[in-house]
């Protein structure tokens, strides 16, 4: 397992009582651990030099392990040099070695590219204080609904049904739908009690189904349009062969004061496109054309 190992400035010690019996034992006794931090991981050089400072390359070994009291335990032996037995009193040093650099490189490359940019991030929780941006965000499908987030937080996740969900700190879950869904899969929305109801779907027979059988009614909200409707409250004579203005003396409805019955004209209040429709009912007469 790659680690970032603890350093200890100018630390030098010796092998403790009993020495290191052979090349395979994984516990290295130290005569003292003063200046080291218990529980941390260290890389140590043994027998690089003797007590007089003379180099002893044939005895040199680098080990990596965790400090427990005055022992380096769970050691990896011979990470540099040669794994071998060491006598009590052999010189032990904490130095910056190739192992430090190689382990640090391996550690960083778990989630970094060689140019220092991030590769895939593997973490239980990732917290960001700013914007998270990218061309692709990959989410693992959840087999069950995640727990409610803490106050002021919200979570986004994908379930095994393939849909994206949002859950707030009140435990309210919402499902988001793509612009296009599969045939015979309904667009849904939650009602006042939080139950998902069908809004619309195209069924397996390619028939559009609108609404849910459990809904009491469906209300269609229309876009507001400005207009008026007027009519003549009685009959009006039209003389043959002459142009006659038809009077409309009564309003059925008028949304914005468009029609003035006394003047028989409509004054448009708002610029836009308008549809004008008129209907005339003639009395029965077999003479002439209408």
Most confident of the ranges 76-85, 139-148, 180-189, 253-262: 76-85
Asked whether the predicted pLDDT for residue 213 surpasses 80, the reply is no
**Confidence band for 163, pLDDT divided at 50, 70 and 90:** confident
Last residue of a domain, one of 163, 198, 221: 221
Whether residue 121 lies inside any domain: the answer is: no
Closest CA relative to residue 181, chosen from 202, 167, 196: 202
Which of 117-126, 193-202, 245-254, 276-285 is most confident?
Answer: 245-254
Q: Please check whether residues 101 and 186 belong to one and the same domain.
A: no
Q: What band does 218 get if pLDDT is binned at 50, 70 and 90? A: low
- Whether residue 131 is contained in a domain is answered as no
Q: Is 49 inside any structural domain?
A: yes
Taking only the tens place, the pLDDT of each residue in 60-91 is 999 999 999 999 999 999 999 999 999 999 99
pLDDT score recorded for residue 1: 45
Same domain, 233 and 260: yes
Share of the chain above pLDDT 70, in %: 91
Q: Which residues pair with 65 in a beta bridge?
A: 42
Sheet of strand 196-202, all strands in order from the earlier edge strand to the far edge: 187-190, 196-202, 208-210
Total domains in the fold of the chain: 4
Residue 244 lies inside a defined structural domain of this protein: yes
In a domain, 37, yes or no: yes
Q: Does residue 42 surpass a pLDDT of 80?
A: yes
The C-alpha atoms of residue 177 and residue 171 are separated, in whole angstroms, by 19
Q: Classify residue 88: in a domain, yes or no.
A: yes
Which of the pair, 117 or 63, is modelled with greater confidence? 63
Measured CA to CA, the distance from residue 163 to residue 188 in angstroms comes to 12
The answer to the question of residue 127 being in a domain is no
Q: What is the pLDDT of residue 279?
A: 87
Q: Which of 191, 221, 251 is the last residue of a domain?
A: 221
Categorize the per-residue pLDDT at 202 as very low, low, confident or very high, splitting at 50, 70 and 90.
confident
Provide the pLDDT for residue 77: 97
Distance CA 246, CA 111 (A): 83
Domain match, 19 and 102 both: yes
Residue 6 · residue 100 · CB < 8 Å: no
Q: What is the mean pLDDT of residues 23-52?
A: 96
Residue 2 has pLDDT above 60, yes or no: no
Question: Does pLDDT of 179 surpass 80?
Answer: no
Residue 243 predicted with pLDDT over 50:
yes
Task: Identify the domain boundary among 62, 82, 106.
Answer: 106
The residue among 185 and 69 whose pLDDT is bigger is: 69
Question: Same structural domain for residues 24 and 63?
Answer: yes
Average of per-residue pLDDT values in the chain: 86
Contact status, residue 269 vs residue 228, Cβ threshold 8 Å: no
> Based on the domain organization, do 240 and 260 belong to the same domain?
yes
64-73, 95-104, 119-128, 205-214 — most confident range: 64-73
Rounded to two decimals, the pTM is 0.45
Q: What string of H, E and C letters represents the secondary structure of the chain?
A: CCCCCCCCCCCEEEECCCCECCCCCCCEEECCCCCCCCCCEEEEEECCECCCCCECCCCCEEEEEEEECCEEEEEEEEEEECCCCECCCCEEECCCCHHHHHHHHHHHCCCECCCCCECCCCCCCCCCCCCCCCCCCCCCEECCCCCCCCCCCCEEEEECCCCEEEECCCCCEEEECCCCCCCCCCEEEECCCCCEEEEEEECCCCCEEECCCCCCCCCCCCCCCCCEEEECCCCCCCCCCCCCCCCCCEEEEECCCCEECCCCEECCCCCCCCCCCCCCCCCCCCCCCC
Same domain, 17 and 76: yes
Residues 97 and 43 in one domain: yes
- Can you give the pLDDT at residue 112? 84
Structural domain harbouring 195? 181-221
Claim to verify: residue 75 and residue 49 sit in the same structural domain: yes
3-state secondary structure labels for all residues of 144-191: CCCCCCCCCCCEEEEECCCCEEEECCCCCEEEECCCCCCCCCCEEEEC
Q: Quick check: is 81 in a domain?
A: yes
Taking residues 89-103, report their average pLDDT. Answer: 89
pLDDT, position 121: 77
């Amino acid at each position: 397992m790659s680690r970032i190992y603890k350093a200890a400035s100018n630390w030098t010690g010796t092998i403790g009582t009993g020495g290191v019996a052979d090349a395979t034992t994984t516990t290295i006794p130290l005569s003292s651990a003063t200046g080291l931090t218990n529980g941390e991981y260290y890389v140590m050089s043994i027998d690089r030099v003797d007590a007089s400072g003379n180099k002893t390359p044939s005895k040199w070994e680098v080990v990596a392990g965790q400090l427990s009291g005055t022992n380096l335990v769970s050691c990896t032996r011979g990470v540099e040099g040669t794994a071998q037995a060491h006598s009590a009193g052999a010189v032990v040093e904490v130095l910056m070695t190739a192992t430090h650099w190689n382990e640090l490189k391996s550690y960083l490359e778990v989630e970094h590219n060689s140019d220092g940019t991030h590769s895939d991030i593997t973490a239980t929780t990732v917290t960001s204080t700013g914007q998270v941006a990218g061309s692709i965000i990959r989410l693992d499908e959840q087999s069950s609904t995640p727990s409610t987030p803490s106050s002021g937080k919200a979570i986004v996740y994908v379930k095994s049904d393939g849909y994206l969900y949002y859950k707030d700190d009140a435990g309210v879950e919402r499902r988001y739908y793509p612009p296009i869904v599969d045939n015979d899969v309904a667009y849904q929305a939650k009602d006042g009690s939080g139950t998902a109801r069908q809004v619309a779907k195209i069924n397996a027979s390619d028939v559009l189904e609108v609404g849910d059988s459990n809904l009491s009614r469906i209300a269609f909200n229309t876009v507001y349009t400005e207009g008026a409707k007027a009519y003549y409250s009685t009959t009006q004579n039209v003389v043959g062969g002459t142009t006659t203005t038809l009077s409309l003396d009564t309003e059925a409805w008028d949304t914005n004061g468009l029609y003035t019955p006394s003047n028989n004209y409509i004054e448009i209040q708002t610029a836009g496109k308008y549809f004008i429709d008129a209907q005339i009912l003639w009395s029965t007469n077999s003479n002439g054309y209408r």
